[in-house]
Chains A and B, each alone.
Chain A
Amino acid sequence: MSTLDQLVYMANQIARELGGQCPDRPVAATRDHLHQFWDPRMRQAIVAYLDRGGEHLSDIARSAVAQLRETAERAD
């Protein structure tokens, strides 16, 4: 599995778990998890993947990564 494939898999895995644990806010919970535990280069890579279409991201993961992108853009 390439690093990018690994990141996509991990993002989906996190989204799948937090979707069950936090049914009221699965996207925000996933975004927060990625923000708290992923190194910036990992976040940049997954955001770039979304920018290219993010084909294999689940719905929750896709929305969470989109929010990560917004957060990063605001920070810039």
Chain B
Amino acid sequence: MAWIGERDLGTKAIAAAAPTMVTVRIDGQDVAVPEGTSIMRAAALIGTDVPKLCATDTLEAFGSCRLCLVEIDGRNGYPASCTTPVADGMVVRTQTDRLAKLRRGVMELYISDHPLDCLTCSANGDCELQEQAGAVGLRDVRYGYEGQNHLVADKDESNPYFTFDPTKCIVCSRCVRACDEIQGTFALTIEGSGFGSKVAASQNDSFLESDCVSCGACVQACPTSALIEKSVIETGTPDKAVITTCAYCGVGCTFRAEMRGEQLVRMVPWKDGKANRGHSCVKGRFAWGYANHRDRILKPMIRASVEDPWREVSWDEAIAHTASEFRRIQAKYGKDSVGGITSSRCTNEETFLVQKLIRQGFGNNNVDTCARVCHSPTGYGLKTTFGTSAGTQDFDSVAQADVIMVIGANPTDGHPVFASRMKQRLRQGAKLIVVDPRRTDIVRTPHVAATHHLPLRPGTNVAVLTAIAHVVVTERLADEAFVRERCDWSEFEDWAAFVAQPQRSPEATEALTGVPAADLRAAARLFATGGNGAIYYGLGVTEHSQGSSTVMAIANLAMATGNIGREGVGVNPLRGQNNVQGACDMGSFPHEYSGYRHVSDAATRAMFEEAWGVTLDAEPGLRIPNMLDAATDGTFKALFVQGEDILQSDPNTHHVAAGLAAMECVVVQDLFLNETANYAHVFLPGSTFLEKDGTFTNAERRIQRVRKVMEPLNGYGDWEIVQLVANAIGLDWRYSHPSEIMDEIAALTPTFARVSYDALDRLGSLQWPATEAAPEGTPTMHIDHFVRGKGHFVVTDYIPTDEKTGPRFPLLLTTGRILSQYNVGAQTRRTDNVVWHPEDRLEIHPHDAENRGIRDGDWVSLRSRAGETTLRALITERVAPGIVYTTFHHPATQANVITTDYSDWATNCPEYKVTAVQVAISNGPSDWQQAYQAQTERSRRVLPEAAE
């Protein structure tokens, strides 16, 4: 149920930009509300809470509990205030003797079939049934408790995070409606009728075995303890809450971290959160147990060689050693022999400090971030075409979309909360086009079906998008007026002539893309003519050798069809990690400062030089893969890695390992001894998002506060650790709070000019650019003109990847992630989420499996030109024949042993999505896997701290 500190107005607000206002008199008090508002909500707005059970302001009114009855002058009977809208001049009474008697009668019936164990109930004091029984003045139950009832029923404890106790259920349907209306999974139902009615998951399955995705919406909606978090059962109800931002995906859900004393009891999505609008997924809602996991390293450690065991040391020794090593290496090999990697899991402030440490302290631009391996093509492509390295919309925009095109994204798994909002719009009638090699869940899910699924062959994105553009241009579906006004017309003409060439047509490209021409033509026509067209894309676009070209092809299509610059349209990259956008914004790339300004720009450099008191390098630095190359060549010797695990996440594991092994000092700052730490010489324990202040910036450019809810277990926030290192190498940083870092960011970054903690606290969040002209941020970009002036069309010729299938490697591997796990799994593998995904599996089509004699669950070897691993097979038609798919969440699999060095031409973003492979029956782990496991065990030995 809603936390006791949060007001529930009973029914939803009327969503209208300029509603007609009506005035109603409630209990003698006039209130003006938008037409269509319920009596219940109008009453609540003047402080009158009409008793209720089935109503809550996150769901549509239902009118089943009959507790919210009111009297209305001139009307017969006692209508339910939740389902009855106000009318101008209406006179309502919410409290009369007759109403009180009716409500007590209703409540008597509920309580006659409810356990009388309030004092020992886990929801005691936080139960709406208990509260409403008091509100209606229930003093006795005339029917007794001996009649037929539901007081004997088994509790379902199968879900790792919450329980369902049917004896406590009042069958108000709030859980069912939350699953339907908010989450859109339709996993729950009311089975039976009348007295036999009961909540059931799927086909009377346990919650764990049902279609339930554990988003927690049902638990949040439940007015009793029928559905309740196990953490509340174990710990007790919370007594205070702190608003903070989730540290998982790029949706950036805001949560109330509900506490009892210093103990986190539960994370509940914040109703006022503008990114998530009160919803959550299984990761943000429940998978925070890693914060206290026994694997967390809380003391700094050093070692001379990666063959040695770790030695716990004091913070002073660890910091001094780090500084000394970096200075020694620079003195010996030159200032450009060191660098660092910022983290998209860390805050803007921490990321800014790491790149500052490298630029100001180490004197070079050898800084990169994990966006290198996910959305760097988005930065390049959108900056080239539109002028800004970011998506164009806010998430609310999807509610205005008429045609939604999802390209290379799996939102129900990767961005589940946004997917729920997308599904809400699709259920209202918007059309869906999915461009993806796999039949992802969004293609067909309850009450949602894609109008078109274009199952392209991996690596042919540009050909498909060009073919769509071919249809738009040759069938004269382009928005010429928009293009003439907003874009460079001559560039458009060049582009239009290019895409109109016969060899770009759907028919001509069908053989290579695998997409039936008729389907593609129909999808193109729908997108161009179906109203507001919005494109959402993910790593299936960027992680290709033509990733940047694909992003530009998407931008071309949006411009050509006039789908930029207003609500309901746009180009929307679904960012992978919580702060990918922010890490990029903060100057984490080796060629640019915060705000995407190139290091060669003298004016920008001068501004930073004045602020930081040093001369800055005007040359771009090394990207992550270039750092590893330089390491194996002997010119790059030391790396500071904050909150990343490049050994598991980056392609061609053997190459990453060789690069790390060639360095003389690798510093890893993380929560756990990750895979990269196998090659580290210094380990600096990190802090979780619960333990520090800062900000994250989500996929819609929304900057949101991260608030400390508990002290860091290691003693320091990550920003403090970087400051210690900076000062140890001779800098003079004096930040006493992350807000001061943000002030510096704002002073040095024009798009952040009006960002401050005060502004964020006042407004809740800010979408950059937040400038003098837009002090409260910019939800929709490029409204009147593109940031670069005229929109820039780029001719994007399809160039096949050089990663080819052939007799030795006849299948194409594509990789991705799953709902319950997050990236390298460092966090989610240390939670109960492993019940849903305990290992990476290889999805293979039945045809390909049969050809190889593979049965479901068999161990199979997966081999590419780069390497080999083994994992178990999952036979499914989600993948097409010739395609196999796996996730990369588990280090035991190390899926990136398979992926290659091929990368995006513009940004070096790895081509994770196309690897030629062979699959065969296997007996078990490969030699490499066994050797790696042994190495990992050796590497993680820790000697206790020596006695003083």
Contacts and interface: CB of A to CB of B under 8 A. Distances in A.
Contacts, number: 61
Contact of A13 (B545, B591, B797): B545
Highest count of chain B CB atoms <10 Å: which of A1, A6, A23, A39: A39
B630 interface: yes
Interface stretch (A30-38, A52-60, A63-71): A30-38
B633 A14 contact: no
A41 B633 CA distance: 11
A3 B629 contact: yes
Interface stretch (B192-200, B616-624, B811-819): B616-624
Contacts of A37: 591, 620, 623, 906-907
A28 to B, nearest CB: 16
B906 A17 contact: yes
Contacts of A40: 336, 619
B572 to A, nearest CB: 23
A39 B905 contact: no
B795 A38 contact: no
Nearest to A41: B635
Contacts of A39: 336, 365-366, 590, 619-622, 626, 630
A14 B799 CA distance: 11
Contact of A36 (B620, B623, B796): B620
B550 to A, nearest CB: 12
Nearest to A45: B633
Interface in B422-461: none
Contact of B905 (A3, A13, A36, A42): A13
A23 to B, nearest CB: 8
B384 to A, nearest CB: 9
Most buried by A among B366, B629, B907: B629
A10 B598 CA distance: 21
A40 B621 CA distance: 8
Contact-residue size bin, chain A (C-beta under 8 Å from the other chain): 10 to 19
Contact of B906 (A20, A33, A41): A33
Contacts of B600: 36
Given A33-B906, A41-B336, A41-B630, A17 B620 contact: no
Contacts of B632: 3
A22 B476 CA distance: 25
B901 interface: yes
A20 B795 contact: yes
Main secondary structure of the interface of A (DSSP, over half): helix
A23 B796 CA distance: 11
A35 to B, nearest CB: 8
Contacts of A38: 620
A10 to B, nearest CB: 7
B794 interface: yes
B620 A10 contact: no
Given A13-B545, A17-B906, A20-B797, A3 B901 contact: no
Given A33-B906, A37-B620, A39-B620, A21 B629 contact: no
A69 B757 CA distance: 48
B764 to A, nearest CB: 37
A40 B364 CA distance: 11
A42 B623 CA distance: 11
B549 interface: yes
B944 to A, nearest CB: 41
Contacts of A42: 622, 626
Contact of B629 (A6, A13, A20, A36): A6
A10 B254 CA distance: 41
A14 B905 contact: yes
A17 B795 CA distance: 10
Nearest to A14: B905
Interface string B755-785: 0000000000000000000000000000000
A1 B591 contact: no
Contacts of A41: 336, 622, 630, 635
Contacts of A14: 905-906
A1 B635 CA distance: 18
A22 to B, nearest CB: 8
Contacts of B626: 39, 42
Nearest to B622: A39
A3 B620 CA distance: 18
A16 B590 contact: no
A21 B619 CA distance: 25
A44 B769 CA distance: 38
Contacts of B336: 39-41
A16 B591 contact: no
Contacts of A6: 629, 901
B591 A36 contact: yes
A17 B629 CA distance: 23
Contacts of B630: 3, 39, 41
Contacts of A20: 795-797, 799
A14 B907 CA distance: 10
Contacts of B908: 10
Nearest to B799: A16
A34 to B, nearest CB: 10
Given A33-B906, A36-B591, A39-B365, 4 more contacts: A16-B905, A17-B549, A21-B794, A42-B626
7 closest residue pairs by CB, A with B: A20-B797, A3-B629, A13-B905, A17-B905, A39-B622, A40-B619, A3-B633
19 contacts: A3-B630, A6-B629, A6-B901, A10-B905, A16-B905, A17-B797, A17-B799, A17-B906, A20-B796, A20-B799, A21-B794, A36-B598, A37-B620, A37-B623, A38-B620, A39-B590, A39-B619, A39-B621, A41-B630
